[in-house]
Amino acid sequence: MRYKVDFLVIGSGIAGLSYALEVSKYGKVTILTKAEAVESSTKYAQGGIAAVMYSPDTYEKHIHDTLIAGAGLCDEKSVRITITESTDRIKELIAWGAKFDKTSTGVYDLAREGGHSEHRIFHHQDNTGAEIERALLEAVRKNKNIELKEYQFTIDLLTQHHLGKEANRHMDNVECYGAYVLNKNTNTIDTYLAKVIMIATGSNGNVYSATTSPVVATGDGQAMVHRAKGWLKNMEFVQFHPTALYNPIEKPSFLITEAMRGAGAILKNMNGEAFMSKYDSRGSLAPRDIVARSINTEMAKSGDDHVFLDCREISKEEIMHHFPHIYAKCLEIGINITKDMIPVVPTAHYGCGGIVVDEYARTTIKHLYATGECSCTGLHGANRLASNSLLEALVYSRRAALDSKEAIKDIDFCNQIPDWNAEGMIFNEEMSLITQTQKELQQIMSNYVGIVRSDLRLQRAFIRTGLINKETEELYSRSVLTPQLCELRNLIANAYLIIKMAMERKESVGLNYNIDYPPKK
Ligand code: FAD
Ligand code: SIN
């Protein structure tokens, strides 16, 4: 099938949905999403969304906290844009129907997380993301200008390459005309032509064996833009969340929100020692990179595969009120968190880098925007401040909408784009080969490109990933396409970018900790 649409949005998390709601005022919108619409990192967000609302908090304090967490590598312009627009974006989200917890006096009950100097986290119990996703999906489904199509796997972006103009193409003048999309319901590959395309495909967390990101998080947007010759940066800054529930059989890893440490929970080692004060004066509420590395050091010293989070000092009433889902989840596996400590381990959680965008979320490819976790606005620098990512998605999706409403006036559909050519694709390799290769890749990344890196480990990862890439490209060139094969290819591209950028960064800064380059004091 061949479709034409004004605005093509790929992804149904906070970034894609909020953009779609905005641009629906200016034209017809199609949202494509590769699974059930609700399935997204957004749905799993627990702690909440940071925004400045009440005194004594100020924009300057939030800006300062963000810059400190980013370890000197934030783009200050992006930080200022994001924080100073935070109050308006939260109000808009509330107007779309999202509900946040209030105190008995009717004001918002703002939480505090690591690295924040004030209470400024809007939350809905401990499942804020699910509430945001519910509200946005409801608003989208009521909107007559938006068509939401589930189980549509976007394979690749359409550019001059698909017009046979590869030779003339220069990295600075690539244009995007739409996308090839595998309809998982019919098993056909459709052509979507669009005037403006928004990539909002989220995280690449599944490049690692253990991640809090859902299974849909395979870095498809980052890989598609890389193949289309768009720019990416800061991919080496992978954030490991210090406290995922230690339960190796579970995928994705279940998060124990940082808000719990904000409420008084303390990290302890197997001997019951509250070890964080040895590493940082902010203790369990130090920035995430420091906490994750400290846990890593404790585990390396003791040989244990987890540490504990002790929340027994938090009142039962507070736990039931603010953390009911974590309480219920832990109880399911036999841990009563009002009496027992929770086994936790650092786990891949968030990619601070991604597709390079400017202040209106424009990528380096014409007519192509990117927002949310797949993008790199410069807000996070070398380390993201907790609860800044949902905010970033809202701010930049809105900015992208303002820009694309103007851009669309001068763009025509590129009707010359041919439909997908499936000729020569006959070889259907057994699925186990794909899943096995994916596991191999995840092991390489977890073993060599984790919280602590070295030049030798990165070199090993580079060589091994190169081999996996060669084998997979060979398979891809002669196989009937499946979403699993496309995802594997995308994960390999993301792994390559993370390793390459980690190799190029000859310093330990923020989330990139390399023992060959000790951090500057
Ligand atoms: P997502 O919400 O992940 O949406 C991406 C969408 O793209 C999905 O619908 C997916 O199916 C679709 N998609 C992907 N590839 C394709 C393709 N090829 N074709 C079609 N569709 C595709 N941040 C905070 O600020 N506060 C928090 O409290 C917080 N808690 C978190 C807790 C957890 C467990 C996790 C994993 C993350 C948390 N984060 C938090 C981070 C935050 O949730 C994410 O950064 C944010 O939700 C990303 O939104 P997004 O719209 O960019 O991507
Ligand atoms: C958490 O709730 O700890 C996650 C917050 C975030 O990743 O921003």
Residues in the chain: 521
Minimum mean pLDDT range among 133-142, 163-172, 339-348, 446-455? 163-172
Measured from the Cα of 213, ligand 1's closest atom is 36
Quick one: which atom of ligand 2 is closest to the CA of 386? 8
Which atom belonging to ligand 1 lies closest to the Cα atom of 392?
25
400-409, 418-427, 452-461: least confidently modelled range: 418-427
CATH of domain 431-514: 1.20.58.100
pLDDT in tens, 461-483: 999 999 999 999 998 888 888 99
Query: Atom 2, ligand 2: which residue's CA is nearest?
Result: 47
97, 138 Cβ separation under 8 angstroms: yes
* Span from the CA of 390 to the centroid of ligand 2 (angstroms): 10
Transcribe 143-188 into DSSP letters: -TTEEEE-SEEEEEEE-GGGGT-GGG--GGG-B--EEEEEETTTTE
Could you tell me the residue ranges of all domains in the chain?
Answer: 2-236+352-410, 246-346, 431-514
Ligand 1 centroid – CA 469 distance (Å): 26
Q: Enumerate residues 6+ apart whose C-beta is below 8 A from 170.
A: none
Q: Which atom of ligand 1 is nearest to the CA of 48?
A: 28
Contacts of 152 (CB under 8 A, 6+ apart): 32, 33, 34, 181, 182, 183, 184, 190
Centre of ligand 2 to C-alpha 45, Å, is 7
pLDDT tens-place string over residues 220-263: 999 999 999 999 999 999 999 999 999 988 999 999 999 899 89
* CA of 42 relative to ligand 1 center, distance in Å: 4
Residue 214 has pLDDT above 50, yes or no: yes
Q: Phi/psi of residue 2, each to 5°?
A: -125, 125
Q: Which two tokens stand for residue 382?
A: 């070398």
The CATH number for 2-236+352-410, chosen from 3.50.50.60, 3.40.50.2300, 1.10.3810.10, 1.10.3720.10, is: 3.50.50.60
The number of the ligand 2 atom at minimal distance from the alpha carbon of 384 is 8
Pairing outcome for strands 146-149 and 121-122 = unpaired
Mean pLDDT of 329-353: 97
**CA 502/CA 462 separation, integer angstroms:** 10
- What is the pLDDT, as a whole number, of residue 432? 85
* CA 14 / ligand 1 centre spacing (Å): 7
Domains 2-236+352-410 and 246-346 share a fold: no
- Of the ligands numbered here, which is closest to the C-alpha atom of 349? 1
- Mean pLDDT, range 271-300, rounded to an integer: 92
If you take atom 9 of ligand 1, which residue's CA is the nearest one?
Answer: 12
User: Which amino acids are annotated catalytic?
Assistant: 288
What's the confidence (pLDDT) of residue 70?
A: 94
Could you tell me the distance, in angstroms and rounded to a whole number, from the CA of residue 461 to the centre of ligand 1?
A: 26
Closest C-alpha residue for ligand 1 atom 38:
45
pLDDT surpasses 80 at 413: yes
Instruction: State how far the Cα of 327 lies from the Cα of 259, in Å rounded to an integer.
Output: 14
Nearest ligand, CA 43: 1
The amino acid that residue 195 corresponds to is K
Ligand 1, atom nearest to 390 Cα: 25
* Atom 15 in ligand 1: residue holding the nearest Cα: 201
pLDDT confidence tier of residue 372, bands split at 50, 70 and 90:
very high
Taking CA atoms only, the protein residue closest to ligand 1 atom 32 is: 45
User: Which residue's structure tokens are 């602590």?
Assistant: 452
Residues 304-333: what's their mean pLDDT?
95
Tokens (6 digits) for 428: 């259907």
Asked whether 77 and 85 are in contact (CB, 8 A), the reply is no
Residue 285's pLDDT band (cuts 50, 70, 90): confident
Ligand 2 pocket test target in 387, 389, 391, 392 with most atoms within 8 Å of CB: 387
The answer on pLDDT for 151 being more than 70 is: yes
Report CA(275)–ligand 1 centroid distance (Å): 32
Pocket test for ligand 1, best of 17, 113, 122, 201 (most atoms within 8 A of CB): 201
pLDDT of residue 167: 43
Q: Residues with Cβ within 6 A of ligand 1?
A: 10-16, 32-35, 39-42, 44-49, 128-129, 152-154, 200-203, 212-213, 216-217, 220, 255, 350, 372-373, 387-390, 393
97: pLDDT strictly greater than 90: yes
Q: What residues line ligand 2, using a CB cutoff of 6 Å?
A: 46-47, 257-259, 350, 386-387, 389
Predicted local confidence at residue 466, as pLDDT = 98
Measured from the alpha carbon of residue 82, the closest ligand is: 1
Q: Is the pLDDT of residue 298 over 80?
A: yes
Number of the ligand closest to the Cα of 155: 1
Band (pLDDT 50/70/90 cuts) for residue 423 is confident
3-state SS class at 320: helix
Check residue 430 and give its pLDDT: 73
pLDDT of residue 384: 95
Q: What is the pLDDT of residues 164-185, one digit of tens each?
A: 876 444 567 899 999 999 999 9
The tens digit of pLDDT for each residue in 104-122 reads: 999 999 998 888 999 999 9
Provide the pLDDT confidence category of residue 429 given band limits of 50, 70 and 90.
low
CA 211 – ligand 2 centroid, Å: 13
The protein residue whose alpha carbon is closest to atom 4 in ligand 1 is 13
Average pLDDT over residues 416-429: 78
Mean pLDDT of 133-156: 98
pLDDT score of 424: 64
Q: Does CATH number 3.90.700.10 belong to domain 246-346?
A: yes
Which among 335, 134, 348, 336 has a CA at the least distance from the CA of 255?
Answer: 348
